[in-house]
A = this chain, B = another copy of it.
Amino acid sequence: MSDDKIKIAVFPGSFDPFTIGHESVVRRALDMFDKVIIGIGFNTTKSRFFSIERTTEAIQRVFKDTRGRVEIKVFKGLTVDFCKSENSRYILRGLRTAADFEYERAIAQTNKAMYPEIETVFLLTLPQHTYVNSSIIREIIKQGGDASLFLPRDYKI
């Protein structure tokens, strides 16, 4: 084996809300990593649409079938510091579009400049999830629409 420690990936985000696209990335990542920690970034300056508590519970229900291999945690501060505290050397991110890519690249290269031993690993969202986007979903809900099509089956929020 290349590494005798278990491989832990951190999947950071605000997940406001957590979508079917997010779920798919986490499930596929479980093939590569021993554990995936979904890290909900706590940000005092940006207000949330769904509270961190309800988001945490809703995500937990989605992954109750994964026998503890998916953990949901809330973190403050830098993502790279959270990774260190969790003994994770991998940041997991999904890529949907070219616009996504440019933003994700800037964040990932900034993280690597600060902590060169942490690697960001990207999976693609599935084609049918490419357009699924938390901010559009929030807008649908604000306008009184039904967004359940874009949320995981067991995600009740």
Q: Residues of A at under 8 Å CB distance from B?
A: 1-3, 6-7, 28, 30-34, 45, 69, 76-78, 80-81, 89-90, 95, 97-99, 101-103, 105-110, 112-114, 119-124, 126-133, 136, 140, 142-146, 149-150
| Interface of A: prevailing SS | mixed
17 contacts between A and B (CB under 8 A): A2-B30, A2-B32, A7-B32, A31-B89, A32-B121, A78-B144, A80-B145, A95-B122, A98-B101, A107-B136, A109-B130, A110-B133, A112-B126, A121-B123, A122-B124, A127-B128, A130-B130
A13 CA to B126 CA, complexed, in Å = 23
Q: Which of B112, B113, B131, B144 is within 8 Å of A109, CB to CB?
A: B131
Give min CB distance, A117 to chain B, whole Å. 9
* Cβ contact within 8 Å between B109 and A78: no
A142 CA to B114 CA, complexed, in Å = 15
Give min CB distance, A64 to chain B, whole Å. 18
